Amino acid sequence: MNKTDLHIHSVYSDGSQSIDEIFCEAKKEGMTRIAITDHDALPPWEEVREARDRYRIDTLTGVELSCRDPLTGRSVHLLGYGFSPAAPHIRKFCEDMTLRRRRQNSRQLSILKEMGYRFECSKLLEYMTPGGVLQKQHILLMLMDAGYTEHMFSSLFFELFGRRGVLLEEDDSPHFEEGMYAILADGGQVALAHPALGELWDLVPVLKELGLAAIEMDHPVHSAQDRLRAAELAQKYDLELAGGSDTHGNYSYIQRRIGECLSHWLTHDNLSERMHFVRGLLEEASKEALMRGSRPMRSWDKGKQDWVSEVDLYIQEKIVQAIRSRYPSETIISEELPNGSLSKGFNWILDPIDGTRNLLYERENYFISLALYNGNIPVLAGLSDPKRSEIFLGERGKGVTKNDMPLPALKPVAMHQAIFENGTKANHLGKLLSEVQAVRYSGSIVKSLSMLLTGKRHLMVSDKVRIWDYAGGVFLLEELGGAAKIYPGKGRGGADVLIAAVSRDLLEDALKAIKEDGWDER
């Protein structure tokens, strides 16, 4: 059974539990997926990832951004999911909010001292994690330690932070449009948190126009009527139904357990053993590639402008060692290994760095690709863009995810609307080139295929590919409803020719145009 809680707070904002404690409790509650959604703060992804692997509970990047509706002054909280761990736009939003809170905290502490409270401000640092955000719960802990109250949510809490509390200030959070932009710009999806709290129902169509993907239905403060209203709005505006416990551990007036409320969106079975293995390999390899690719590196021309760098060789060595250690009897085919061929059993097909020249000259637009075949049938694959912190994963019959968020089925595109990725040096594509909308070239076969997966490109042709270039990307493309045609040995220098499209119809139209150009199976 899938059990997904997409609303959990940790010590990195106003929760009392560490990352490890959250995952430990989630394991006891039988959760299959969780998201840590700290207020205007991002926990270290490495720490989250380690806990994910330790407890074998799936997770995805998450955050809760504090915004407001400038017309009414209402507080609007936006939950973001599945964004790039680098998250530059979200981090900028959080940094700005931290500065606002620090100014607010200074005013609040000054008021407390004027009221006669005596305390050590340095104690506040003990309650916060490095890089954490100071919250009202931390101020209450300080006052508890100073002997002014025995409980966090005594009458003192309401005197200070209640509806007319002396420390309560007018909300000066950013416009909700800024929060929407930050999450979407980092590749995430947005859900409206607990809409009943601020009676935010009227904002749903406005937020939908800005890119809202979901509305939180199951939440501890929502009544049966609130849940029904959320479901009706979701149906009306084609939104998903999110949900979660909104637990803050002990830092909540009413303590909530993880899994008390569950999401109907982004529910997920734990990854298979092999898919979990592939994701871990790609995450570690991407970290190494990013670090090693940012400094001077040696490279060699293998012939005819086919380059290999020391990063290619290092990544290959690490991944090959890991596969041989875990699955010693299985075949490995890789670009920088001696020629290999598919066997009857399991075959790992690796391209340690696709787009080596991009790595050498641009330090970006390169990919790592790893696929697993059973005989000649692909069963799973993963692609990683280290620079953008994006990982695509897919298993046969289970769809494809990008940063653990499911990708939708690809939409058909007519030839005249297609953005075409041209990876050929042939002068025989006049018919095809005249029919497409625009032509681009990324310098990486895997990157080109990844752009087909996300609808940024619709059609591609390359006349110099090998199985490691396309094994993973073509499999994921077909899982999303795309199609590809491969002509073995018909390309430049005896390489393969690859033609791929977001739909079978577009592929057939492209093949027809190529045939009219007289360049179909040369």
Q: DSSP letter for 44, please.
A: -
Question: 428 falls in which pLDDT band (50, 70, 90)?
Answer: low
Mean local confidence (pLDDT), 442-468: 94
Q: Is residue 336 over pLDDT 90? A: no
Q: Which CATH architecture has domain 4-243?
A: Alpha-Beta Barrel (3.20)
Q: Where does 273-516 sit in CATH, by number?
A: 3.30.540.10
Range with the lowest mean pLDDT among 38-52, 176-190, 426-440?
426-440
Q: pLDDT by residue (tens digit) across 210-268?
A: 999 999 999 999 999 999 999 999 999 999 999 999 999 988 877 899 999 999 999 86
Spatial distance between the Cα atoms of 373 and 467, rounded to a whole number of angstroms: 11
Q: Look at residue 236 in the predicted model and tell me its pLDDT.
A: 97
Residue 112 backbone zone (phi > 0: left; psi -120 to 50: alpha; other: beta):
alpha
The boundaries of every CATH 3.20.20.140 domain in the chain are: 4-243
Q: Look at residue 119 in the predicted model and tell me its pLDDT.
A: 85
Q: pLDDT by residue (tens digit) across 2-17?
A: 899 999 999 999 899 9
Spatial distance between the Cα atoms of 16 and 137, rounded to a whole number of angstroms: 9
In degrees and rounded to multiples of 5, residue 65 shows phi and psi of -95, 130
Question: 340 falls in which pLDDT band (50, 70, 90)?
Answer: confident
Q: Is residue 338 over pLDDT 80? A: no
Q: pLDDT by residue (tens digit) across 289-335?
A: 999 988 888 988 877 667 889 999 999 999 999 999 999 999 999 98
Q: Which two tokens stand for residue 484?
A: 């590809």
Q: Look at residue 474 in the predicted model and tell me its pLDDT.
A: 98
- Which of the two residues, 85 and 126, has the higher pLDDT score? 85
Taking the CB of residue 35, how many other CB atoms lie within 10 A of it?
Answer: 26
Percent of the chain with pLDDT over 90: 70
Question: 416 falls in which pLDDT band (50, 70, 90)?
Answer: very high
Spatial distance between the Cα atoms of 281 and 206, rounded to a whole number of angstroms: 41
The boundaries of every CATH 3.30.540.10 domain in the chain are: 273-516
Question: 65 falls in which pLDDT band (50, 70, 90)?
Answer: very high
| Cα end-to-end span (Å), the chain | 52
Spatial distance between the Cα atoms of 309 and 152, rounded to a whole number of angstroms: 58
Question: 455 falls in which pLDDT band (50, 70, 90)?
Answer: very high
pTM comes to 0.86
Q: pLDDT by residue (tens digit) across 341-373?
A: 888 899 999 999 999 999 998 889 999 999 999
Average pLDDT of the chain to the nearest whole number: 92
Mean local confidence (pLDDT), 396-400: 93
Mean local confidence (pLDDT), 68-87: 95
Spatial distance between the Cα atoms of 177 and 181, rounded to a whole number of angstroms: 6
Mean local confidence (pLDDT), 196-222: 97
**How does DSSP assign 441-496, residue by residue?**
--S-HHHHHHHHHTTS--EEEEEEE-HHHHHHHHHHHHHTT-EEEEETT-SGGG-E
- Which of the two residues, 137 and 467, has the higher pLDDT score? 467
